[in-house]
Structure 1
Amino acid sequence: MYFCPALFGTGRNRRRENVLGSFCVWSDLDEPTTLECLLHSGGVLPSVVIESSPGKYHVYWLLSHLETDVQKLQRLNAAAAEALGADRSGFDAAQLLRLPFGVNSKPAANGHRPSIVYLDPEAVYNADWLLTRWPEPNAGSWSMPESEPELVSWDGSLPGLDELPTDVPGWVRERLTEGVAGDRSTAAYSVTLALAEQGADPNDIVGWLRQSPLFDHYGTVERLERDVSRIMAKHVPTRASSEASQRPLELPSDSWAAVPVKDILAGTFQPLQPSFMTCSGGGISLLYPGRSHSIAGESGGGKSLAAQAAAAQALSDGKRVCYVDYESDVNSVVRERLAETFRVSHSALIERFSYVAPDGRPSGGALSRLTGQRFDLVIIDGVTTALSQFGLSGRDEGEVTLWNQELVVPFERSGSSVLLIDHVTKSAESRGSYAIGSQAKRANLTGASYLARNIRPFGIGLCGILELKLAGKDRNGQIQRHADDRGVVARFLLDSTDPEQPVFRFESVAQPGQPAHMVSREEAWENAALEFIRTNPGSSKRAIVEAMGGGGKAAREQVLNLLEARGQVRRETEPHGLAHRYYLST
C-alpha cells in the first residue's frame, strides 16, 4: 500500500502541479544498509524511518510548518537524497511511498511487511535550516519543467540485446545484463541517457530496462515510463551543446609553446572538473582527469579501501583502471576487494583492469607499455615502498621530484587520473597537512591532496567510515568550495554488517561556509553521554539522557542504545533487577 506525503487540493489528481505543500521532507534509501549506519549518515537525525523491504528504508524529516513552495520542497528532497546516498529520482513532490503496514509484494522483498523502525516525533525541523545542513543538490537533479513531458507509452515489446544501437558503450550492455551492486538509480539514469544519445527509440529503452535487473529500482512499468520520458525531454535535446560548452581548453603538446589566450579572453574557457571518486546522489567528485592526487593516512585506516572503491566505481562506469600495488597482493585486491566486496563483474575486471605488483624500477619499456593503454584511473598504492624500490629517499626533495617525473608524470600525460596512497607520521601533533617525508610529495601534485582520518573501523560485521579532508591543495579549485571550515569534503562508508551484501558509497559532508567543527545532533549527544558516564560512572539511564541536552527523549535514548550496541558503554543490572547502571567499556 502506498501514500503520498504531500497534500493535494480537494478532488485533484496526484500530479505535481496540484500539490499544495507538505509537512515533511522524505528520501527513498534503495540500497541495502543497516539502521545504525543510516542514522549516522546525512548529518541530521530523521523523525521517522520505515523499513520498506529488508535493509531498505523510507526516511522522513518532519517540518515545523507546511512548506508550500513545491520547487523548494523538491530541492529539500534532493538534498536529503544526496546527503544519504539515496535514490536521487525520488525528489518529486508527488512521489508515492509505502505505508508502514501491509505486504511488500515485490519478489525481492520476500513478503516483507513494512514497519516503523525509528520514531522521534519531537524531531521537527525548519526547512531553511535543513538546507544549510545538507549538500546543495545540482539544480538539474531536482528542478522540473512546469508541465510534464509527453509520457512514453510502452507497447509491451521486449527487444533483444542484439538490437542495441551499434555504437552504444560496452558498459551499457553490461549493466542491462548484470545490473550493478552500487547506486541503481544512477545506473538506470546513465543507461537511459546513453541509449537516448545513441538515438534509441524510447519504447525500446523501456523494453530493455524492463528485462534488466535495473528494473527493481523502478518497481512498476508506470514509474519506468515516467522516468524515461523525463530524461528524454530534459536532457537529450541539449546534450551536445552542453558537452561542447564544458570542453576544457586544449593546450599545446609542447610545454614550451605559448598557450593561446583567445578562448580565455572570449569567456569560452571552462575549468577542468573532477570526475572520479564520485559522491552518491550525483554529488561532487574528488579526482580530476589527467591530474595527480594523494590520500595520506595512518596504516589500517581504510585509505586503500577508499581507493579500491573509486576503482570499482570507474570500472562500473565502463572506464579502464590500473592498480600499481606496493602494499598488498593480487588475491586481496582483485578477488577479495574488487570482485567480492565491491561487486565488480568478472568481465569488467578481465577486460578493463590491470594489476601490477612491481619489485624494482621499470625497465625495457615496461612503463611505456602501461601508459600506452590509456587508463582512465591509475592508483599507486604505497608511495614509500615505491620510492625505496627506485633507490630513492622520500625525504629528499630532489629525489621525490625525480621519482614523480619518472613514474607519475607519464601516466598524467597519457590522460590518466593518478591517485597516490601514502602514509602519515605516527605523531598527530607533528604530521602537519601532508604525507610522511618531503613536502615535494605535495608540491608535485597537479590535482588535490587529502588527509584520511578513520572515524569508525572497517571490518566484517562493521559499518566503517573514513573522513577525507583537503590537505592544503586543490590546484584546479573545483573541490575546495565544497569543503567545510575544517577542509573536510567527503566521507567513505563501507557497511559490511551483512558480509554477503556489503554496501559502499562516498558522500559529501558539508556546504561551503559551514561553521568549523560542526557536528550533527546525534554526534553531540554521543559525546555528551560518553563524557557524563566517564565523570559519573554507574549513572542511571534517566540521568544520562537528561545530561545529553535538548531534543526528543526517544531519540536520545536511541543514541545511548547505539553506544551500548557498539560496545562503547556497558550496562549492568542491579541485584534486585529494577535498575540499570552504565559504565564506559574497558
Structure 2
Amino acid sequence: VVKRDDSSLSAGDDYNAKVTWESILEPLGWTKVYSKADATAWRRPGKTEGVSATTNFSGNDKLFVFSTSTIFNSESSYSKFAAYAQIEHSGDFKQAAKALREKGYGASNELKTDWAGLEIHAPSMVQLHDENEEVATSSWIPREIWNENFDEEPPPSMLRREDGHNILYAGKVNALFGESESGKTWVALEAVRQELAKGNCVFYIDFEDSARGIFNRLQTLKCDMEKLKSFKYANPDEPLGEGIGEIMKTEIGKYLPTLIVVDGVNAAMNLLALDLEKNKDATTFSQKILKPLKIFGAGILTIDHVTKSKDNRGNYAIGAQAKRADIDGVAIACDVSLP
C-alpha cells in the first residue's frame, strides 16, 4: 500500500499559494476590467467590452468564468491549480500535478510503501481524489444516516392566512396554478406585501405583466410605499445571457430576499426556447432557473397556468409531469368561487 506523508504539501496546494491570477491569465491575453474589494473582473482575449470572468469573488481565490468562448468551461469555477491543469494539460490533474512536482512545487512529498499491508487491488481500495490530490467523497456514494442529527422540517413561514396558519415554505420551490384571471398573481402579491411588511426584501421576476401593473396592484393591496424600497423587480424579455446566472446569485447574496416570485413559468420557458411538454426541458428549467434561486434560503413561488378544459387538465399546470416533480414546497390551486 502506498501512503502519502500526512505532513506533505501537495503540488497543487503549493501552486495555489505561490502564483497569482495575473501570472496565469495575462500571458493568455486576459485583461483586467476593474477591481472591487478583493475581487477582480476580467475580459477574455478578443473581446473589447463586458466582463468574461471574475477572480477572488467573496474571497474564495477562484476563477469564475462566464464566457463560452475561452479554454475554460462557462459557468464554472477554477482554483489556480485547476486553471493550470486546464491550460497546460487539457484538464488532466494527474499530469498537471506531476509536471508541477518536476518544477519544484510541493514539499515533503515522499511516497512511503507499507509492504506489510500490500495486497492485491480490490474495489474497496479505490479512492476519489479532488483537484488538489486530496481524498474526496461524492454525493453518489451511499452513507449511513442513522446517527445524524437532522433538524426538524421547518413549518411554512410565509403567506399567512386569516386563521394564523402560514402556507409557503422558505428554502423550497412553491407553486400557484390556476386558470387565467383566477387571482394567482393577487395571491402572490399578498405574500409579497406580507414579507415587505416584516421588513424583508422580495425579488419579483415577471414574465407576464409589467412594472407598472405590479406596482399598481401592490398599491391596491395598501402596501407601505416605504417598504417598497425593499422590492426588486425584473421583467426579462431576452434569453438568459452570458454571466446572468452568476450576477443573479450575487444580487441574492447582497439583498438576501426571503421570497422570490417567478410569475409565468410557461412564458419563461418559451423565452428560453424550452418545450413545455418535455420532461427534460422542464427539469432543465428547474435546475438552471429555480433551484439556483434558493442559494441563500429564499422561498421560491412560481405562478403557472392550467388548461382551460377542466376535464383534461389533471391535477397540475400545463405541460410535462416534471414541472410538478420539481416542487418541493407546497402547490396551491387557485379557483374562482364567485363570478
TM-score by length of 2: 0.55
Match of 1:279 in 2: 161
CA drift at 1:346: 2.2
Separation in 1, partners of 2:151, 2:247: 33
Structure-to-structure mapping, 1:96-115, within 5 angstroms: none
Structure-to-structure mapping, 1:195-206, within 5 angstroms: none
Which of 405, 409, 432 matches 2:291? Answer: 409
3-state SS, counterpart of residue 456 of structure 1 = coil
Question: Unaligned 5+ residue runs, structure 1?
Answer: 1-253, 458-586
The CA RMSD over aligned residues, in Å, is 1.9
Separation in 2, partners of 1:286, 1:299: 22
Using the TM superposition, name which of 397-406 and 369-378 deviates more: 369-378
Separation in 2, partners of 1:390, 1:259: 40
Over 3 Å counting, the alpha-carbon distance change for 1:355 and 1:296 in structure 2 is same
1:355 aligns with 2:233: yes
Query: What amino acid is the match of 1:348?
Result: K
Match of 1:210 in 2: none
Runs of 4+, deviation exceeding 4 Å: 254-261
CA drift at 1:263: 4.5
Match of 2:175 in 1: 294
Match of 2:65 in 1: none
CA drift at 1:439: 0.9
Which of 227, 231, 248 matches 1:370? Answer: 248
Separation in 1, partners of 2:140, 2:170: 22
1:397 aligns with 2:279: yes
1:331 aligns with 2:212: yes
Higher relative contact order by CA 8 Å / sep ≥ 6: 1 or 2? 2
Separation in 2, partners of 1:286, 1:259: 33
CA drift at 1:353: 1.0
Question: Unaligned 5+ residue runs, structure 2?
Answer: 1-137
Match of 1:314 in 2: 195
Match of 1:342 in 2: 221
Over 3 Å counting, the alpha-carbon distance change for 1:255 and 1:290 in structure 2 is farther
3-state SS, counterpart of residue 447 of structure 1 = coil
Over 3 Å counting, the alpha-carbon distance change for 1:341 and 1:278 in structure 2 is same
Over 3 Å counting, the alpha-carbon distance change for 1:410 and 1:259 in structure 2 is farther
Over 3 Å counting, the alpha-carbon distance change for 1:277 and 1:255 in structure 2 is farther
3-state SS, counterpart of residue 415 of structure 1 = coil
Separation in 1, partners of 2:158, 2:144: 27
3-state SS, counterpart of residue 262 of structure 1 = coil
Separation in 1, partners of 2:325, 2:244: 27
Separation in 2, partners of 1:424, 1:396: 16
Separation in 1, partners of 2:172, 2:307: 25
Over 3 Å counting, the alpha-carbon distance change for 1:289 and 1:255 in structure 2 is farther
Separation in 2, partners of 1:300, 1:344: 21
Match of 1:447 in 2: 329
CA drift at 1:403: 1.0
Over 3 Å counting, the alpha-carbon distance change for 1:320 and 1:396 in structure 2 is same
C-alpha contact 1:263 1:269 (8 A) present in aligned 2: no
After superposition, the C-alpha distances for 1:373-403 in whole angstroms (9 at most, x for unaligned) are 2321011111111000100111000011001
Separation in 1, partners of 2:276, 2:139: 27
Over 3 Å counting, the alpha-carbon distance change for 1:259 and 1:417 in structure 2 is farther
Separation in 2, partners of 1:332, 1:409: 27
Query: What amino acid is the match of 1:389?
Result: L
Paired-residue identity, %:
31
Query: What amino acid is the match of 2:237?
Result: D
Match of 2:147 in 1: 262
Query: What amino acid is the match of 1:362?
Result: L
3-state SS, counterpart of residue 269 of structure 2 = helix
Match of 1:384 in 2: 266
TM-score by length of 1: 0.32
3-state SS, counterpart of residue 309 of structure 2 = coil
Over 3 Å counting, the alpha-carbon distance change for 1:277 and 1:256 in structure 2 is farther
Query: What amino acid is the match of 1:294?
Result: A
3-state SS, counterpart of residue 421 of structure 1 = strand
After superposition, the C-alpha distances for 1:346-369 in whole angstroms (9 at most, x for unaligned) are 22212x111000012222322332
CA drift at 1:279: 1.1
Match of 1:436 in 2: 318
Separation in 2, partners of 1:303, 1:259: 42
CA drift at 1:260: 5.2
